[in-house]
Amino acid sequence: MSKVRFSSKRLLLTLMLCACSVILLQNYDISQNSSFVFNLLCMLCGLAVCFALFVPSIIIKKRTNLDFLTVAHTVTPKLKIPIAVLYSLYFVWAAEFFLLPYTDMFSKKYYSDVTPCLIALILLSACVYAALKGVNVITRFGIFLFVFALLTNILMFGGSTGTLDFELYGFEISGNLNDFIQNTVYFIIPAFIVTLFACLSGKTKNFRLRQPLFALLVTGVKYGLIMFFIWFSLGDYASKQEYQTFILARAARIGFFGGIESLYLALATMSVFMIISLVLCAVTKSAGRESDIKYVVIFAVIIFAAHMCGSYLNSVKEIFTNNYIFAVFTVITAAVIPSMYIFAGRKSNARKALHSINMS
């Protein structure tokens, strides 16, 4: 595994792609009763909360130039195991949060004959390989994925402009408190990248405040565009089917050229692949065994087993894919616990320990 420090810009680009992929697997998470402008406002609130959740990790990074897990292990070595357990649980949960809808989408939209567990098995095998290579290599892969995502989005949005209809649907604001809570909670989900950043930013250099801000901004733009096109190009048609972004890709046509849902499938697949690879890197780091093949395989097997339970037991699936539970868990791991360490890290013995790690 490479030991050199890599650019923080690249890590944030990769995390931005992970955040953008949240809406690719969106399935009735955004309220069907509220209007486009209302949803847009909810999105802005949600992303503002995401940026607020970024603050503790940014402070730790700026102060120590280390990731949160290293700081936690150094400042409170006795809490190493509880922290490891908590974050391992979170990351396994995060993996299921994306894997279950992905395999569900694949099975319902593309190929109903194949069992979702097979998809998960092959995808996890590929993710194990990527996780063993390390975060640096995954962020390099992110550059290619960024170019591909740009191309796919251009084709998807370009192909949907022909069916935009502003007569049927307008820019009114309509929605209630429940819709606001539902939507805002959904738009807090991208904050999982904050936890990833907190755990994986140890080997980055040249971190700037504008990087996470820019990442969330671009994420917001992408969300806004997708919601815009779903609302004005698909209209009520979208509410009849699951996975609206898939439908948007399906409906997009440039002249007589269609088939953009194949690009959507590729983008969704590569995004989930990247997310789970980063999750495996982070979970082994939280267990103190970064890129150790044994631990990567163990956690991949745990994720696979959890996926099998989720596939066959609806109650398990509902727990894993519950936006509220995941959002609360994300807030705790992304902001609450790192905030405690901001104050704990000020103690002189902690400062000394951190300084010696930095020097080495």
Partner 1 sequence: MRARLCIVLICLSAVLFSGCQSSRKIETAQIIENVTISEKEGQTLYTFYILSSADTPLKTEIPAESFEQACELAQNQYIPNITLSKLELLMIEESLIDRVLKTDIEYISTQPSFSPSAFVTLCDRKTLEKFAESTREQDIIEEQLILLKKNNPAVNINYLSVFNHFETKKTSEFLVGTVSFDGELKIGEKKDIKNEK
Partner 2 sequence: MNNSLAEILSELKADFSDSADLTIRNLTLKSERQIKAAIVTIEGLCDKEQLSQSVINPLLPYDFKSMKGAEAADIILNSVMASSDVVVIYTKAEIISFITSGFAVIIVDGAQQMFAVGVQGYSFRGVNEPESEVVQRGSREGFSEPLRVNMSLIRRRMKNPDLVFEQMTVGSESKTQLMLCYIKSRVSAKLLGKLKKRLNKCNLDSVLASGYLSEYLEDEKSSRLFSGVGISERPDTVCGKLTEGRIAVIVDGTPAVLIVPRLFVEEFQGVDDYSNRTYYAAFIRLTKYLSFFAALFLPGLYVALAQFHPEYFPTGILIKTSESLAQTPLPVTLETLAITFIYEIMKEAGLRIPKSLGHAVGIVGALVIGESAVNAGIISSSTLMVVATAAICSYVTSPLYPPVTMLRFIFIIIGGLCGLWGIVIATAVMIISMCSKTSLGVPYMSSLAPFSLRTMRDVFVRADWKSLSKHIIKVQRFKETEV
108 binds partner 1 (CB under 8 A): yes
Work out the widest C-alpha separation in the chain, in whole angstroms.
68
Closest distance of CB 300 from partner 1, Å: 10
CB of 122 to partner 1, least distance (A): 5
Please tell me the distance from the alpha carbon of residue 12 to that of residue 205, in angstroms, as a whole number: 12
Long-range contacts of the stretch 340-349 (C-beta < 8 A, 24+):
341/56, 341/60, 341/68, 341/71, 341/72, 341/75, 341/76, 342/56, 342/59, 342/60, 344/75, 344/76, 345/60, 345/63, 345/64, 345/71, 345/75, 347/75
Residue 87: both structure tokens together: 């974050």
Minimum distance from CB of 235 to partner 1 (Å)?
4
CB 93 within 8 A of CB 307: no
Residues that bind partner 2 (CB under 8 A): 2-4, 6-7, 10, 106, 110-111, 119, 122-123, 126, 129-130, 133-134, 136-138, 140-141, 143-144, 256, 259, 262, 265-266, 269-270, 273
Q: Between residue 294 and residue 313, which ones bind partner 1 under the rule CB under 8 A?
A: 297
Q: Which is nearer to partner 1, 28 or 237 (CB)?
A: 237
Report the nearest approach of partner 1 to the CB of residue 317 (Å).
20
Tokens of 198: 């907190």
- Chosen residue from 4, 168, 177, 359 binding partner 1 by CB under 8 A: 168
Nearer to partner 1, 20 or 238 (CB): 238
Rounded Cα distance, 165 and 306, in Å:
43
Least distance CB 277 / partner 1 (angstroms): 14
CA-to-CA dists, residue 255 to 6, 148, 258, 284, 296, angstroms: 43, 21, 8, 48, 46
Binding site partner of 7, from partner 1, partner 2, none, Cβ cut-off 5-8 A by kind = partner 2
Q: Which does residue 235 bind out of partner 1, partner 2, none, counting CB within 5 to 8 angstroms by kind?
A: partner 1
- Per-residue burial over 129-139, b if 16 or more Cβ lie within 10 Å, else e, is ebbbbbbbbbb
Q: Based on the shown chain and the rule CB under 8 A, indicate whether residue 323 belongs to the binding site for partner 1.
A: no
Residues 226-255 that bind partner 1 (CB under 8 A): 234-237, 240-241, 246-247, 250-251, 253
The reply on whether position 118 binds partner 1 by CB under 8 A is: yes
Nearest-5° Cα angle at 257, 252 to 259? 60
Residue 276: CB minimum distance to partner 2, A = 11
Pairing of strands 6-7, 204-205: parallel
Q: Residue 138 or 282: which CB sits closer to partner 2?
A: 138
Contacting residues for 176 by C-beta, under 8 A, at least 6 apart: 33, 34
Among 37, 79, 258, 298, binds partner 1 (CB under 8 A): 258
What residues line the site for partner 1 (CB under 8 A)? 108-109, 113-115, 118, 121-122, 125, 128-129, 163, 165, 167-169, 234-237, 240-241, 246-247, 250-251, 253, 258, 293, 297
